[in-house]
Amino acid sequence: MIIDAHAHLCPKPYGSVEHYLSQLDRSGIKQGLVCPGGMVDVRRMNEFTSGRRQADPIPCNDYIQQAVLAHPGLAAVACLDPRPPHAPEALEEWVSRGFRGLLVSPLVHRFSFLDECMAALASLCGERDIPIVSHVGFRTGANPGDFIQLARRFPKTCFLLEHMGGPQADTDVVDAAASLDNFFLETSLGTFMHLQETVKKTGASKLVFGSEFPMSHPGLELKKISLLPVSEAERDLILGVNVQTLFHLN
């Protein structure tokens, strides 16, 4: 069983569900956990990180729901701006529609992991037993240490950090995954060396395979996991069992 735990879909050709499914098929993968994309055009990422272009703040959760209803191999994670007061109610609504987790994006919505709005959502996710998924940035409130602090504050809520914190081989997030029961790392865009060193320290139970479609290809990201010097049982954990357990996938 292989499940891609990290794909961003949007109603644009480069991020469409049809394009994603074609890449999954070429990679021999039958299942994917999908979330809204397109708020940032990842083909022009430097324009967003430099401030020359603004993100679209509206997540396409409706498009994700339509994709999941049409394709049984897909499951959904909702994306929300955590700052509006009604964010917890909005999350409840998406969960009632079958969404399996919450994605937040500090790049798009410019909140802090230490804001009380995030505390309210983290508490709710713990009550509903759904994970919080996020990347981190390099600004006050969105740094890896801030995300770790949120995970320490809410030990009954599971947290999945995209890209293992980033390509810079962040040892703080590895230490957090090794020591916190509720802290997990998603592998897309991580370097092979960082993957090797991380699995030695955290064990395979703390890693979750993901592709970061459309920025990367599921088959390319899968190849890195296939090359890891781990047992087949450990590889199975990374490729599917861990995400199946975290998000209660069938």
Contact 74, 32 (CB under 8 A): yes
- pTM of the full predicted structure? 0.95
Contact 11, 60 (CB under 8 A): yes
Task: Give the tens place of pLDDT for each residue, 67-126.
Answer: 999 999 999 999 999 999 999 999 999 999 999 999 999 989 989 999 999 999 999 999
- The reported pLDDT for the residue numbered 215 is 95
Which of 167, 197, 168, 188 shows the shortest CA–CA distance to 177?
197
Contact 76, 68 (CB under 8 A): yes
Rounded Cα gap, residues 243 and 67, in angstroms: 19
What domains can be seen in the chain, in order of their start residue? 3-247 (3.20.20.140)
